[in-house]
Amino acid sequence: MDGATPVTPMSTNVLLLYAARGIRGFGDGFAIIILPAYLSAIGMTPVQIGIVATAALLGTSLMTLAIGFVAPRHDMRNLLLAGAALMAATGAAFPQAEHIAFILLVAFLGTINPSAGDSGVLVPLEHAMLAQNVPDEERTRTFARYSLIGALSAAVGSLAAAVPDLLAPLGVERIGAFRLMFYAYAALGVISAAFYARLPHMKPEKERPAAPLGPSRGTVYKLAALFSLDSFAGGFVVQSLLALWLFERFDLSLSAASLFFFWTGVLSAFSYPVAAWLSKRIGLINTMVYTHVPSSVFLIIAAFSTNLYLTLALLLLRSALSQMDVPTRTSYVMAVVTPAERTAAASVTAVPRSLASSISPAMAGVLLTTTFSGLPLVVCGILKIVYDVALLYSFRHIKPPEERRQG
């Protein structure tokens, strides 16, 4: 793209993107916990909450797909600003929503995603800009820092989800406190926009490509298909539904849940630099698979546990491993496509993380009402192991540039 800045490991552009990621992560951290609590407080059932989660994930996936194909033809800075404005509008709209139809509309069009991790309409734009500003050797570490910042800020945001409990002794009505939190989320969207506004204009290429995806189309579509399986599996335990499961199975309080999700976020965050270190020794694909499988085993065991502390311990162990594929996956996708294809590739491979997972939360909501409420966790763990085996088999011989040079 015209006007690209010189390649430096820690350019001003990278720092601005890191800052915006941190602000958004903090908002996501408390929003995904208070969302199911708010919906329960206004009288919605687990099945209805699962449907809302499905609407949110479906809307996110469709907008993410659209942004990947629109971005090569528009100023990326302006698209980031538009995404931040949508975040602010989402926070302002949710406190007005009590009727199921309005809630579904806001969930579908808004930015509150009930899953944890790097997802959302702004993510492919940030990924493409980050990849453009660093060399191959720094790419995985850059995405590890990006994910670390997002996870740590989300962990701190999880603690903020306890604010409604803290305001209760002061006489603040619980639903009123939830609405204040949504307004805070809107304010964070405005702050994110302030960081994006300092980025340079990223004008489209003078000669627009015939299609956003070119020579790497086959590889991207194959990755997207596999990621769709992983996303479908993950949809059974999106963080909002996992919180709901803990609320209902163990009668966990909102304050305890916020503390628990803080620590899951911290463990996930510090797994990212470990993933970057490990990938330099065993490769990106091996890092993704060899850390993912044990995390799925811990999740399956947690489903059968009847002891709260054992369950939380197993879920914490899962959190220490389950997200190590996030920076490595992003780095791998950016590495195996041409620079001109990066935004579209980030979008096409990110969409399954929302689109496929948008199907399963509604199913999980139904499964939560069965005799064995841990069934969504079991289904998730088994499907994720199938995905890991398929990924290793399909891509173990397709290496990024830095691994080919080492070989």
User: Which is more confidently placed, 136 or 281?
Assistant: 281
> Out of 35-39, 137-141, 162-166, which region has the weakest mean confidence (pLDDT)?
137-141
Tell me what pLDDT residue 27 has.
Answer: 92
The residue that leads in pLDDT, 382 or 243, is: 382
Contact of 77 with 199, CB cutoff 8 Å: yes
Q: For 274-310, what is each residue's pLDDT tens digit?
A: 988 998 888 899 999 999 999 999 999 999 999 999 9
Query: Which position has the higher pLDDT, 240 or 252?
Result: 252
pLDDT-derived band of residue 81, with 50, 70 and 90 as boundaries?
very high
Q: Provide the pLDDT for residue 6.
A: 41
Per-residue confidence (pLDDT) for residue 132, from 0 to 100: 77
Instruction: Quickly state the pLDDT bin for 3 (edges 50, 70, 90).
Output: very low
Length of the chain: 407
Return the pLDDT at 8.
Answer: 42
Largest separation between any pair of C-alpha atoms in the chain? 65
Q: Please state whether the predicted TM-score (pTM) of the whole model is above 0.85.
A: no
Domains of the chain: 12-202+212-406 (1.20.1250.20)
Query: Position 225: which residue type?
Result: A
Residue 204 has pLDDT above 70, yes or no: no
Q: What is the DSSP string of 349-407?
A: HHHHHHHTTTTHHHHHHHHTTSS-TTHHHHHHHHHHHHHHHHHHHHHTT---HHHHHH-
Report pLDDT for 85.
94
User: Which residues, in sequence order, are CB contacts of 278 under 8 Å at separation 6+?
Assistant: 287, 291, 324
Structure tokens at 404: 């080919």
Q: How far is the C-alpha of 71 from the C-alpha of 80, rounded, in Å?
A: 10
